[in-house]
Every structure is written in structure tokens, then in C-alpha cells.
Structure 1
Amino acid sequence: MNTSVLRIGIAGITGRVGRLLMEEITSRDNAVLSGGTSLSKDIHDIPDSVQIFSDIASLVEKSDVIIDFTNATATETHAKALNNSKTAWILGTTGISESVQKLIKETAKTIPIVQAANFSPGVTLITRLAFELAKALPADQYDAEIVETHHRQKVDAPSGTALAIGESIAKARKVDLGSVAEIGRKGFTGARKKDAIGFSSLRGGQIVGEHSAIFLSDVEEIVLTHKAFDRRIFAKGAVRSAFWCINKPAGLYDMNHVLGLDPVK
């Protein structure tokens, strides 16, 4: 593979992050935008020189890497198109079902995939810090709550990033998140379970993304907070991941690998 000029394709090029990805890629001397896919007909500000493909398979053939921030309903199709290809996959789509996640893992046996709920370096570090806090602070003494806020157009809740932080806390406490998560409490819930990990989701305005992991005991409160002011941070992280994964062996990677950090165990 010629890595002197990296051919990067964008799945969902007309989306909010897709347009930022286009700017990031075209601003680099060592990358070329191989094209994009879009379900939207709103391509008025996409340069005529950018090829829009009607299907992902055609874009895969023209690309060394695909960056994908599309809807979870498209992920299965994308995984099948990328499987056994020579094209790496940077996947930032959230809300993916368990069955499709299994397909992603199978695809990672044939190509390198960098999958992250959030491509911000800051969020990656916040998630690691949440793990360390959860590992050090006993669950029967420190309640863990996660609060996330996003723009009104976001379609999934809790956010993928909030769930990733929750998974990190659950991993540190050696429990299954699905068995301890309390999402959107309502009505007469009874006293809080000592091992619960709570999630609250707020939606409004055009907030890019805010996440807080909160640990509360009888005598103190510890809050880890990350606020994204510009979606460009996600585009920058994804493009960084695209360059990182070239010539890596097939496998499923995350932002810890990209940042040169040991995976959380």
C-alpha cells in the first residue's frame, strides 16, 4: 500500500462530521479525499471534484481507509463491504446492536479497524481516569453516575461515549454493565442500589457534547468532566487514526492504541 499519499473515503460525507472530515483531509499534503457516500441530496457545498458514490462497496475499492460516522442502520452493510478488503475502517458510529458488533469483530479478523465512541483524545483520557477511580474507590462506598448532554438532533441515548465511560467503570468493578446500569429513572424506584451505575441524558440546543463521570460518597464528590466545543475534534481524531492504522495487522483497535497507551485491562 502506498502510504505517501493516503486515500481516505468518507462514509456519510454530507453529515456534520463528514463535512469537517472533508476539510481536514483536503488540508493535508499527505492525504487525498477518494470520495464519499451520502443518502442526502444536499450536496450544494460539496466541491464538484469530490466523487459521490451511491454505495459503500464502490468507495471501498477506491480507498485505503474509510472513515465512518454514519447511522447504526448502515453499519452491517459497511462491515460486509469492508470484510476481506484491503481497506482499513475508522468507525465512530454509535448505537450499534450486539449482533452487528459481533460482525465488526469478525471483520476485524481481516482488516484493521479503529472503533471508538468518541475520537477526542480528552474523552479517551477521561474514560481511563474513570476506570482508575472506579478501581480504587469501593462500589459500596462510592456511587457512580454519568451525565451527558447533547444537541436536540441526537437520536440515541445514552450517548455512545457515556456508555463507554460506564463500561470502563463496570470493567474496573468487575461487573457487567447491563446488569447494573440504571438508565432514565422514573417513578417509585426505591433506594439506589449500591452497585448501580446511573445514566442521565439531556438534550437541547446545539451542544456538541458534554460528559461527566461523578463519584459520590458520604463525605466527598469527585467529578470528571469533558466538554467538546467543536466537532472538529472528532474529525481530527479520526484522521489521526486513519494514518495510525495503515500497515497495522488486522485487528480491532481503539483510541488508546492510537494515543500510544496500553489498553485498559
Structure 2
Amino acid sequence: MTINRVWINGLSGRMGLEIQTLIASSERWELVGGTSIGELVDRESGVTEGDWKRLPECLNRTDVLIDFSAPAGNADLLKFFQESSVKEKAVLIGTTGLTADQRQAWKRLAEERRLRLLLAPNTSLGVLLTLKVSQQLAGVLNKLDFDIEVVESHHRAKIDAPSGTAKFLAEGVARTVDKQTIYGRTGKRQPHEVGMASVRGGSVFGEHEIRFLGDNEELVVSHRALSRTLFAQGALLLAGWVMTRNPGPYGLEDVSLEDMLKLLENKGA
């Protein structure tokens, strides 16, 4: 059995801890170590340091890097790659709230350094299925003049709004029907819009609805996360997927339904 060796950026964060828990109980994955802002933890050598100077050497011992940090932590990781000579690595970025410039910088880096890079604003395979189903519905219902809106709910401490997942879903559906996404509408709805709205409160892990609103009926495709474990499970599955790709940047839309079935059959191996 092949054992995949993982490095986590955002090691001490909520998602970093969830992924560590899954790796500890898995026969297919092994944690080499991880980084947080201003700290490097090399689990194999038992060394913890206050900088990232040893990161190139550590990454040489890993198969895939998973980034679940924050925009600032992701910016540090991007700067590290830009200033180092590390290349030809598999990288999964699950951090949300990145700017368009940050995403574009990662894509350029993937081309220059032959990285196998997956930008994944949500690592739930259920969310990916939600998009695939919604795109099919949009192709039909748009011809019947249905309006399309995306509503998302998250816990009160979430930093970014709209969520990265809401953007992913709205933009994916909008492409299908040649419309534009809008957030923070203040006036009358326009026919070319796919709107996004955010709800914040309590301890909600994440809820997303794609609502198709007609004059006489409404269809809703929804996804509700019940724990962070599902995102950690999906992260390992998608890490297994990106490790098998050719060098270059990828998005979740590049993961086909056939790919998803293979991932579930092989558990990301």
C-alpha cells in the first residue's frame, strides 16, 4: 500500500487539527509536519522552530502540501514559494477569502514551478455535486425565465463574506447561463444577475442554497455541513486527486463526476 506523506500549512488551526486527526487514524496518509505563521513543526525530527528556513528540506520529504490557513498565512506560503526554488510539488489550497490577485499569483506560480495546484474554496464532495446538479438545472430553468440566487449561512466568527463556496457556486452557475454574479444588491433585481446573500450567526458550520425562483414554483438545491470532519475528509480525497494530475493550476470544476467516483472507491489513494 502506498503511503502519502503530507505537510499542512495552518497546522494549528481548526481544519489543520481535523486533518491531523484523520491522518492519525489512516493507513494511507502520514503527517511529516506543518507550518503556522512564524512556526515550523517537523514531526519526523521532533524539531519546532520559529521560522520557515527548513521548509524546503521538509517539503522534499512530502508528497502533497495542504494549505488550510487564513489569507495572511496563505500569503506567507505564496511568498515562500516565490522566493524559494521549490518546484514540482502537489499543492491543495483550501484557504478561503483569497483575492483575485492572490489566486492569479498562485496560478502563475503553478505554471512557472510545474506545481500540481488545486484551488478548492470548499473541499466537500457534496458541494461539488451541488454545483454539478445546479448547473444542469440552470441550463433548463433559465430558458423558463427563472431567477437564480445563492444564499449562504455561517458561524458568527467567519471572516469573509460572501463565502468562497458561495462565490464558487454562484460563478459556476452564472457561467452556465451567461450571467453575472452580484453581492450586496441595493436596488431592483436585474435579469442578468445571479445574486449572493450572506447570513452570519451562532455556530453554523456552513449552509448553501441555490434557489431557482419562477413565477409559479421554486426549486432549491441545498448543502448543509454538519461538522468540519467532512471538509477534512474531502481535503484528503482531493489531495489524492491533485497528486495524480499533470503540472498546472486546477479548480474544483476540473474534478469530474467520474473522478469523484474513483476517489470514493480508492479513498484518495
- TM-score band, normalised by the shorter chain? 0.7 to 0.9
CA distance in 1, matches of 2:247, 2:203: 37
Could you give the per-residue CA deviations for residues 206-239 of structure 1, whole angstroms, max 9, x where no partner exists? 1100000001010110100100001111111111
Would you tell me which structure has more helix in proportion to its own residues? 2
2:52 matches 1:55: yes
Q: Give the alignment of 1:17-96 within 5 angstroms.
A: 17-39=15-37, 52=48, 54-55=51-52, 58=55, 59-82=58-81, 84-96=86-98
SS in 1 for 2:18: helix
Structure 1 segments unaligned to the other structure (5+ residues)? none
Change (3 A) 1:247 1:194: closer
Q: 1:166, 1:197 within 8 Å by CA — same for their partners in 2?
A: yes
- Which residue number corresponds to residue 209 of structure 2? 212
CA distance in 1, matches of 2:89, 2:53: 12
Letter in 2 for 1:38: S
Q: 2:179, 2:194 within 8 Å by CA — same for their partners in 1?
A: no
- Which residue number corresponds to residue 106 of structure 1? 108
Could you give the per-residue CA deviations for residues 170-221 of structure 1, whole angstroms, max 9, x where no partner exists? 10112343xxx1x2334xx2x3212221211111111100000001010110
Change (3 A) 1:80 1:64: farther
Structure 2 segments unaligned to the other structure (5+ residues)? 261-269
Change (3 A) 1:33 1:100: same
Q: Give the alignment of 1:1-265 within 5 angstroms.
A: 4-39=2-37, 52=48, 54-55=51-52, 58=55, 59-82=58-81, 84-109=86-111, 110-138=114-142, 141-177=145-181, 181=182, 183-186=183-186, 189=187, 191-258=188-255, 260-261=257-258
CA distance in 1, matches of 2:203, 2:105: 33
| Identical-pair percentage | 33
The CA RMSD over aligned residues, in Å, is 2.7
Letter in 1 for 2:175: K
CA distance in 1, matches of 2:143, 2:46: 52
Change (3 A) 1:151 1:123: same
Change (3 A) 1:51 1:221: farther
- Report the alpha carbon displacement of residue 19 of structure 1 after superposing the two structures with TM: 0.2
- Report the alpha carbon displacement of residue 139 of structure 1 after superposing the two structures with TM: 6.6
Q: Provide TM-score, normalisation by structure 1.
A: 0.84
Q: Provide TM-score, normalisation by structure 2.
A: 0.83
Q: 1:108, 1:251 within 8 Å by CA — same for their partners in 2?
A: yes
CA distance in 1, matches of 2:109, 2:12: 26
Q: 2:123, 2:231 within 8 Å by CA — same for their partners in 1?
A: yes
